[in-house]
């Protein structure tokens, strides 16, 4: 039977990965994108009933290798508040903290009269060409993605749409925001300027700011990448849904020749 989820819930705070979590650098490790989505999924499920604050920023720090093993995900509050709250989510793998994420929740209220009316100016997925990342990257996470690429952009600029038919956690209701976040980390591969068979450029972090929550099932990444002269690179993305821009993401890369 086909697997239609990234994780199987094994306990109150534990999650077992499926083949859809396999990493692009190694099938024995996670693709970080799957865990990034799980962090938001667990954080959103932990929100108290009736709370009106909305997620506005997530900063992830990756503390080392991410072996493809059962994950324990713990949520705690660092800075409580009625209108502003800071939450920390820790992902543990094989008994150690592997990811620490901090999430700012801000009070939501109607500011439509001053919102920037930014519409979608890039072609929609149905008008784009297939993005077959599995021809460049390995791993189950990449294979299960559906991608569409915008062509004709200036050199060094990329726009790709991604979606997936698979839910994050088998036993839980789908959370669209978390599923959107489960595709943002792919920007690091979208903007690759050199072959991953010759260069390694894993990101050590991911920081996402959003000023509007996404709608629909597509994650749009308007991305650029720069490599420096001393072993560091940065991928920068403007995040989109079908209605237009909604936030930004940054990833710091550790460069290495293979």
pLDDT in tens, 60-93: 999 999 999 999 999 999 999 999 999 999 999 9
Domains of the chain by residue range: 5-108+118-257
Tokens coding 11: 């306990």
What pTM did the predictor assign?
Answer: 0.96
Task: Report the alpha-carbon distance of residue 97 to residue 136 in Å, rounded.
Answer: 30
Domain 5-108+118-257: CATH architecture, name and number where available: Beta Barrel (2.40)
Backbone torsions φ then ψ of 46, nearest 5 degrees: -85, -5
Task: Report the alpha-carbon distance of residue 226 to residue 233 in Å, rounded.
Answer: 6
Task: Give pLDDT, residue 136.
Answer: 83
The SS3 assignment for 204 reads: coil
pLDDT (average), residues 184-204: 92
Backbone torsions φ then ψ of 106, nearest 5 degrees: -120, 150
Q: Which residues pair with 240 in a beta bridge?
A: 220, 245
Backbone torsions φ then ψ of 76, nearest 5 degrees: -145, 160
231 φ/ψ sector (left φ>0, alpha ψ -120 to 50, else beta): left
Task: Give pLDDT, residue 88.
Answer: 98
User: Could you report the per-residue pLDDT of 171-190, keeping only the tens digit for each?
Assistant: 999 999 999 999 999 999 98
Give the Cβ contact number of residue 237 at 10 Å: 29
197 φ/ψ sector (left φ>0, alpha ψ -120 to 50, else beta): alpha
- Residues 251, 206: contact at Cβ < 8 Å? yes
Task: Give pLDDT, residue 133.
Answer: 81
Tokens coding 155: 């050199």
**Segments of 108-204 assigned E as strands:** 129-130, 146-149, 158-163, 167-169, 199-200
User: Could you report the per-residue pLDDT of 119-146, keeping only the tens digit for each?
Assistant: 999 999 999 999 888 888 899 999 999 9
Q: Taking Cα atoms as reference points, which of 41, 106, 27 lies closest to residue 19?
A: 27
Residue 125 contacts by C-beta under 8 Å, 6 or more apart in sequence? 148, 161, 163, 218, 242
Task: Give pLDDT, residue 132.
Answer: 81
User: Could you report the per-residue pLDDT of 211-250, keeping only the tens digit for each?
Assistant: 999 999 999 999 999 999 999 999 999 999 999 999 999 9
Q: Taking Cα atoms as reference points, which of 197, 200, 189, 194 lies closest to residue 256?
A: 200
pLDDT (average), residues 105-112: 96
- Residues 39, 72: contact at Cβ < 8 Å? no
């Amino acid at each position: 039977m086909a697997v239609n989820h990234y994780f199987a819930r094994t306990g109150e705070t534990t999650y077992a990965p499926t083949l859809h979590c396999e990493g692009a650098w190694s099938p024995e490790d996670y693709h970080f994108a799957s865990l990034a989505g799980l962090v938001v999924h667990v954080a959103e499920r932990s929100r108290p009933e009736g709370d009106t604050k909305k997620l506005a920023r997530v900063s992830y720090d990756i503390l080392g290798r991410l072996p493809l093993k059962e994950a324990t995900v713990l949520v705690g509050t660092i800075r409580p508040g009625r209108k502003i709250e800071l939450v920390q989510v820790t992902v543990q793998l094989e008994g150690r903290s592997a990811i620490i994420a901090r999430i700012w929740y801000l009070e939501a209220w109607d500011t439509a009269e001053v919102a920037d009316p930014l519409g979608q100016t890039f072609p929609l997925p149905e008008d784009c060409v297939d993005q077959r990342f599995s021809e460049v990257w390995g791993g189950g996470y990449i294979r299960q993605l559906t991608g569409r690429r915008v062509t004709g952009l200036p050199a060094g600029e990329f726009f790709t749409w991604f979606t997936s038919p698979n839910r994050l956690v088998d036993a839980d209701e789908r959370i669209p925001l978390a599923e959107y976040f489960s595709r943002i980390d792919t920007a690091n591969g979208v903007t690759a300027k050199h072959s991953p068979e010759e260069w390694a450029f894993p990101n050590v972090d991911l920081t996402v700011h959003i000023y509007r929550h996404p709608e629909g099932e597509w994650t749009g990444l308007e991305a650029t990448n720069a490599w420096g002269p001393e072993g560091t690179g940065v991928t920068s993305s403007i995040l989109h849904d079908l209605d237009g821009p909604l936030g930004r993401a940054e990833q710091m890369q550790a460069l290495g020749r293979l």
